[in-house]
Structure 1
Amino acid sequence: MQEWPLIVFTLLIQLSVGSTLFTTFILMYAADSLNTQEKWRVAVPAMLLAFVAGALGLVASTAHLGYPLNAFHALSHISSSWLSREIVFASLYLGILGLTTLIGLVAKRVATSLMLLASLLGLIDLFCMSAIYVHASVATWMHINTYVMFYATALSLGAITALWRLSRCPWLPWKQARRISVICGGALIAVTLARLLEQPIYLESLNGVSRDAVTFPHQPLIAFAQSGRLRLMAWVILTVGTIITACSLQTHRIGRLLLVTGGTAVLLAEIMLRFNFFSIH
C-alpha cells in the first residue's frame, strides 16, 4: 500500500477542519453566557489540536509528492488544477488557524471572527480536496460519495473532539454544556445515518460501470469488489461506535469511558474506509 501518506493527510486535515468547525460553533452558541476567560479555556486546547493535526497532515502530504519542493510546482496551475487550489486553501486555512491559536496563547483571548474565517477556508479546502478525486479517472472516486465521505469524516471526528473537550470542562454550566453535547451527538448520528443511506445510491452507480474499466495501471472496480468484507466491517464498527458515543450522553455528565470507546471505534472505521477508498489496484 503506497498511499498511506494520503490516508494520513486526508484524515488529519479533516480532523483539523472538523475540530475547528465545532469549536467555532461552541464559541458562537455560548457567546452570551461565557466570559473571555471561559471561552479561552474551552477553545484553546481544541485549537491547538486542530493546528497540530493540520500541520502534521500537510507534512504527510509532502511525502506523497515524493519531493517536498514539488509542492511549489503544484502551485503553478491554480487556475486549472484542483490540487493547486487544495494546497492554497489548506495553507490559508492552517495559516489563519495558526494565527488565531497564537493570539489565544499570547493574548489569552479567542478571536471568534478569525475562527469563522478559518472554518470557511477549511470547508473550501475540503471541497477542493474532494474535487481532486472526483475529477480523477478512477471509477470508484468519480461520484458525489467522495464529497459525502470527506465532509462526513470531518463532521464525525469534529463532533467527537468537541464532546471530549466538553467532558474536560466540568466547570461549564451543566444545562448549556448538555445542550451543546446533544447537538454534537445529534450531528454525529445524523452524519452517520446520511452516509449509510447514501451507500446504496453509490453502489448502484458502480453497477452501471463496465467491469472492464481500467485506469492504467489500476483496476478500481475489481479492487472495490475484493474489499467488500473490509468495507462491511468498517460500516458495522462505525455504526456501533456512533451508538456507543451517543450512549455516553445519557449520564449526568458525559461518560468518558463510553466516549473514548465510541470515538476510538469511529476513528478505526474511518481509517478502514479510507484505506478501502485508496485501494484501487
Structure 2
Amino acid sequence: MASTEWPLIIFTILTQMAVGTYIVLAILRALLAKKIEPQTAAKLTNIGLLAVGPVMAVALLISLFHLGSPLIAFYSIANLGTSWLSREILFSGLFFFLWIISYYFIMKNKSGNALNWITAIVGLLAVFSMSNIYSSSIMPAWMAADTFVSFFGTTIVLGLLASAATVGFAAKGEKLQEVTVSLLQRVSLLTLAVIVLQLIFLPEYLSGLAGGGQAGQTSAQLLSASYSFPMLLHWLLTVIGAALLTYVLYKKGSEKLMTLPAGTIYLAFIIVLAGEFVGRFLFYASAVPIRIG
C-alpha cells in the first residue's frame, strides 16, 4: 500500500466517526430530554458534541495532504454534477460548517431538532459520497456493496462507541438514572448487532471477489493469505471492544443508580478504534485495479 493512502485512512475514519458521533448524541440528547431533566441531558451530551468539531477539523486538514493543496480542493468542488469527490468535499465541509452553527445554538440552549437533523443528514451524505468514490472505481475490492457496508458500519460503530465514551467522561463518576444506563445498554447491543451484520456479509464479499476477474481474485488471495492475520485482528478487536462495552454496562445495569465504569468504556472505544484502523488499512492494501488494454 502506498504511503499516500495514510491521509485517506485517517480522513475517512475520522470523518465517519465525527458524523456517527454527532448523530448518536443528537438522538440520545433528544431521548434523554424527554425522560430526565433537559439540563442533565445537555450536560451528558455537550462534551461529545463539542468534540465532533475538532475531530472533523483534523479530518479536513489531513485530507489536504492527499489532495496536495487547498487550491486543488477548491477546484474539485467545481465538478458537483459529475464527481463524487466534489460532493464528498462539499458535504464534508458543509457538515463542519453546520456543526459550528448547531453547537453555537446548543451552547445558547436554543438548539432545535430541525437543525440537528439537517446536520446529521448532510453528514450521512458526506459518507454516502465517500462510499461512491470508491464503489465507482476500477478496483473490484471497492466496487462491491461491501464498501457501503464498511463505511456506514464504521460510522455507526465508532459513533456509538465514541458517544458512550464521551457520556462516560461527562458523567465524571456521578450516579446516573436507570433510563440513561438503559439507553447506553441499547447502544452497546446495537454496536454488537452492526458488527455481526458486517461479519454475516463478509463471506459473500470474499466469495464474490474470488469468483470474479483476475483483479478480484488477487484481492481475495491477498485477504486470505498475506493479510489474513490483519483481517482476523480487525474483527477480533472490534468484537472484543464491543463485547467489553456490553459487559460492563450490563454488569451493574440492574442498579437504579449507576456510576459508569468510564475507564473500561474508554478502553472499549480505543480497542474498536484500533480495529477500525486495521480494517481501513486492509481496505486500501487489498485493492487491485482492473487491467485496461
Normalising by structure 1, what TM-score? 0.91
Could you tell me which of 179, 187, 191 is aligned with 2:190?
Answer: 187
Residue 55 of structure 1 corresponds to: 57
Cα deviations by residue, 1:122-146 (Å, 9 ceiling, x for unpaired): 1111111101000011111011111
Deviation at 1:221? 5.2
Q: CA RMSD in A?
A: 2.0
Conserved? CA contact 1:234–1:273, under 8 Å: yes
Q: Is the 8 A contact 2:174 2:259 kept in 1?
A: no
1:16 paired residue among 15, 18, 24: 18
Does residue 151 (structure 1) correspond to residue 157 (structure 2)? The answer is no
Q: Which residue of 2 aligns with 1:4?
A: 6
Contact 1:44/1:110, CA 8 A, preserved across alignment: no
Conserved in 2, the CA contact under 8 Å of 1:97 and 1:114? no
Q: 2: CA distance between counterparts of 1:253 and 1:178?
A: 9
User: CA separation in 1, counterparts of 2:219 and 2:207?
Assistant: 16
Aligned counterpart for 1:65 among listed residues 67, 91, 95: 67
Q: Distance in 2 between matches of 1:61 and 1:20?
A: 20
Looking at structure 2, the residues matched to 179 and 213 of structure 1 have their Cα atoms a distance apart, in angstroms, of 44
| More moved, 44-53 vs 27-36 | 27-36
Aligned residues: 276
Correspondence 1:59-138 to 2 at 5 A: 59-105=61-107, 107-138=108-139
Structure 2 distance, partners of 1:148, 1:164, is 24
CA distance in 2, matches of 1:46, 1:72: 30
- Structure 2 CA distance for partners of 1:180 and 1:70, relative to 1, 3 Å: same
> CA separation of 1:39/1:125 partners in 2, compared to 1, >3 Å: closer, same or farther?
same
1:258-279 CA distances to partner (integer Å, 9 max, x unpaired)?
2122211111100001011111
In the TM superposition, residue 116 of structure 1 has moved relative to its aligned partner by 1.4
SS at match of 2:259: coil
Aligned residues of 1:138 and 1:220 also touching (Cα < 8 A):
no
Shift of the alpha carbon at 1:212?
5.1
Question: How far, CA to CA, are the matches of 1:128 and 1:26 in structure 2?
Answer: 26
Kindly provide the CA deviation profile for residues 136-160 of structure 1, in whole angstroms up to 9, marking residues without a partner as x.
1111101111111111111111111
- Which letter maps to 1:263? F
2:215, 2:244 → 1: CA distance? 41
Among 269, 272, 280, the residue aligned to 1:263: 269
Letter in 2 for 1:15: M
Kindly report which structure 2 residues correspond to 1:197-212, keeping only aligned pairs within 5 A, or say none.
Answer: 197-211=200-214
Distance 2:275 2:10 in 1: 14
Secondary structure of 1:50's aligned partner = helix
What are the Cα deviations for residues 22-42 of structure 1, in whole angstroms up to 9, with x where unaligned?
Answer: 111112212323444334322
The one-letter code matched in structure 1 to 2:226 is Q
CA contact (8 A) 1:37 1:108 kept: no
Between 96-105 and 64-73, the greater mean CA deviation after superposition: 96-105
Residues 176-209 of structure 1 deviation map (CA, whole Å, 9 limit, x = unaligned): 1112111211111111111111101110110112
Q: Which residue of 2 aligns with 1:240?
A: 240
Corresponding letter in the other structure for 1:200:
P
Residue 40 of structure 1 contacts residue 109 of structure 1 at CA under 8 Å; is this kept in 2? no
- Percent of aligned positions with the same letter in both sequences? 25
The answer to whether the 8 A contact 2:139-2:215 is kept is no
Q: Which has the higher helix share?
A: 2
Q: Output the CA distance in 2 between the equivalents of 1:47 and 1:212.
A: 42
Stretches of structure 1 that go unaligned for 5 or more consecutive residues are none
Q: Is the 8 A contact 1:51 1:97 kept in 2?
A: yes
In the alignment, the residues of structure 2 paired with residue 65 and residue 226 of structure 1 have an alpha-carbon distance, to the nearest angstrom, of: 29
TM-score when scaled to structure 2?
Answer: 0.87
8 Å Cα contact 1:248/1:256 also seen in 2: no
